[in-house]
Amino acid sequence: MQAGVIKDERTRKYLPWLGALAIFMQALDATILNTGLPSIAKSLGESPLEMQSVIVSYTLTVALLIPLSGWLADRFGTKRIFILAVGLFSLGSVFCSISNTLDQLVLARIFQAIGGAMMVPVARLTLIYAYPKDQLLKVINFITIPGLIGPMLGPAVGGFLVEKLSWHWIFLINVPVGLIAVLVAKSIIPNFTNKVGRFDLLGWILFSGGLTMLTLVIEKWNSPTISTIQLIMLCLLAVLMGVAYVYYARRAKDPLIKLDLFKITTLRLGLIGNLVTRFGIGGMPLMIPLLLQVGYGYSAMYAGMMMIPQALSNLVSRNFVVPIVRRFGYRSTLITNTILTGLLISCFFFITPNTPYWVIIILMIGNGAFNAIQFTSMNTISLADLDQETSSEGNSLLSVTQQLAVSLGISLSAMVLMIFQNSAVAVSSDQIAVFRYTFLVMGLITVLSSFVFTKLDKDAGASMSGKREYGDKS
């Protein structure tokens, strides 16, 4: 079936729910894992402050394989690839559940990520092909709302499973959800295809190699197994591979990522904003559970229960994203919301061992609300000016950027955390001081990232937000 707006009413009605189910699976997996990391670390004999490799291995693998997912979906059809993706993700979850060492768990997460790299991007690509642009903002916003049930259930369910059973069960919960997604996909999702050329293997090697080297530099900077010279060499190799890809892409007929895409202003600024903003925000899903369990000494279940207000706030706030963007436009919304998000993250600096738990909950509620506006706005402005020819590649590039930013954000926050852990801050009487200073740095990074959105035009994304029409009517 060639890509185009679908007319079947049943498919139009239920297709967004399938996209929401895919997001639910990933969100549930991520939030359950974040809450369970301290317990996993204890079981495997590792430090909970150095468990970021379990998350980074997944997000980095997803980032590297997403370009392939777009090509596979266009070549073999969105339906076939989506079902394959869910199957691999579910099987990978089983492998994670039977892991007995950290290395085994990291390898299982990489396998799981092979399915995750295709699951959500292909679902979103199907929606881009299936709905007209003036409906896309509402559809994309809708699929994230049911998907937020995962973050609400994840922390509490993860804490319950870790305490009452074992951490292995936090992965097995993906399996029944995956089976439901496969059954629904067989009868609902259209098998859209597009004409594509050969996959750009050389471009993929250069692009993915550069990203991998960069992530390794951030990940291994403090590792005793790697020397300073080796780190410098990895950094130089990352830069060389990046430069080589740019040189190659300018001359290749069908490169992995066409550099002409960056001429689309809304896409370019949306991608840059996604990247630099998540340098600060991206570490929060790792930092908050560690703060609650390692800093405050809460149990996994109690820490999971305290995460629910943040997820609920995120869910409720998404209902206000469309009217906010229509009223103020993308530019003003993103500048203001990014600054407020950074200031709120910085407020975690002022918590102490004597801070009441309800103060932390208020901060987490605010964080959930601002994140809802931030992520939905950044994602939709990136897609605003894409057409039929650029939708697949633009969508893949957005997904790559998101996953890369999450990976780098987690690695960066873990690096900052370890810097303070090894400094004079760690020997103070305040056990939470290491986390406080890390939150301060992350907040400042987020505030500074708002500068990117000042480059947006006043009417940027008007075709999606409807602000121009809104203004004409008023």
pLDDT tens per residue across span 185-221: 887 887 777 777 778 888 888 888 887 787 777 666 6
User: Which stretch of 29-33, 85-89, 340-344, 464-468 has the lowest confidence by average pLDDT?
Assistant: 464-468
For residue 258, give the nearest of 123, 405, 63, 389 by alpha carbon.
389
Highest-pLDDT range among 160-169, 372-381, 385-394? 372-381
Which strand (E) or helix (H) includes residue 391? helix 391-421
Are 312 and 152 in contact by the 8 Å Cβ rule? The answer is: yes
Query: Tokens for 279?
Result: 């340098």
Quick check: 92 pLDDT over 60? yes
pLDDT the model gives residue 112: 92
263-310 per-position pLDDT tens digit: 888 888 888 888 888 888 877 877 888 787 777 777 777 777 777 788
1 part of a folded domain = no
Q: What is the pLDDT of residues 105-127, one digit of tens each?
A: 889 999 998 998 888 778 877 77
Let me know whether 109 and 215 are in one domain. no
Q: Which long-range contacts (CB under 8 A, 24 or more apart) does 54-57 make?
A: 54/102, 54/105, 54/106, 54/109, 55/30, 55/286, 55/407, 55/410, 56/215, 56/219, 56/407, 56/410, 56/411, 57/106, 57/109, 57/110, 57/113
pLDDT of residue 358: 82
Q: How confident is the model at residue 2 (pLDDT cuts 50, 70, 90)?
A: very low
Q: Which of 233, 255, 277 is the last residue of a domain?
A: 255
- Whether residue 3 is contained in a domain is answered as no
pLDDT band at 424 (very low <50, low <70, confident <90, very high): low
The reported pLDDT for the residue numbered 211 is: 77
Tell me the residue length of the chain: 474
- Total count of domains within the chain: 2
Question: What is residue 344's predicted lDDT score, i.e. its pLDDT?
Answer: 92
Q: Are 289 and 34 in contact (CB under 8 A)?
A: yes
Q: Are residues 233 and 341 in the same domain?
A: no
Last residue of a domain, one of 255, 280, 301: 255
Instruction: Examine the domain organization and report whether 240 and 271 are in the same domain.
Output: no
Residues 71 and 195 grouped into a single domain: yes
| Chosen domain end from 215, 230, 255 | 255
Same domain? For 219 and 143 the reply is no
Q: How confident is the model over 151-184, as pLDDT tens digits? A: 667 777 777 787 777 788 888 888 888 888 888 8
Residue 257 Rama label (left phi>0; alpha psi -120 to 50; beta): beta
Percentage of the chain beyond pLDDT 70 is 85
- 378 in any annotated domain: yes
* Same domain assignment for residues 301 and 193: yes
Q: What is the pLDDT of residues 426-461, one digit of tens each?
A: 555 556 778 888 889 999 999 998 898 888 887 776
Which residues, in sequence order, are CB contacts of 251 under 8 Å at separation 6+?
none
DSSP 293: I
Is residue 339 scored above 90 in pLDDT?
Answer: yes
Task: For residue 44, tell me if it sits in a domain.
Answer: yes
Element (H, E) at 328: helix 321-347
- Report whether 219 contacts 53 (CB < 8 A): yes
Do residues 155 and 101 both lie within one domain? yes
pLDDT value of position 111: 92
Average pLDDT value for residue range 225-229: 72
CATH of the domain at 91: 1.20.1250.20
pTM: 0.70
Check whether residue 103 and residue 239 sit in a common domain.
no
Lowest mean pLDDT among 17-31, 71-85, 130-144: 130-144
Parent domain of 308: 9-199+256-473
> In angstroms, how far apart are the furthest CA atoms of the chain?
65
> Is there a single domain that holds both residue 299 and residue 204?
no
Q: What stretch of H or E contains 432?
A: none
Write down the pLDDT at residue 198: 79
Provide φ and ψ at 193, rounded to 5°.
-135, 160
20-24, 25-29, 355-359, 384-388: which range is least confident on average? 384-388
283 and 416 co-located in one domain: yes
In a domain, 326, yes or no: yes
Average pLDDT along the chain: 79
Confidence at residue 471, expressed as pLDDT on a 0 to 100 scale: 40
State residue 276's pLDDT score: 85
Q: What is the pLDDT of residue 377?
A: 84
Confirm whether 384 is domain-assigned. yes
Residue 135 and residue 99 in one domain: yes
Residue written as token pair 């997001």: 23
Residue 49 has a pLDDT of 66
pLDDT at 337 over 60: yes
Q: Is residue 2 part of a domain?
A: no
Residues 373 and 276 in one domain: yes
Percent of the chain with pLDDT over 90: 7
CA dihedral 342, 344, 347, 353 (to 10 degrees): -120
Task: Supply the DSSP symbol for 341.
Answer: H
Q: What is the pLDDT of residue 466?
A: 56
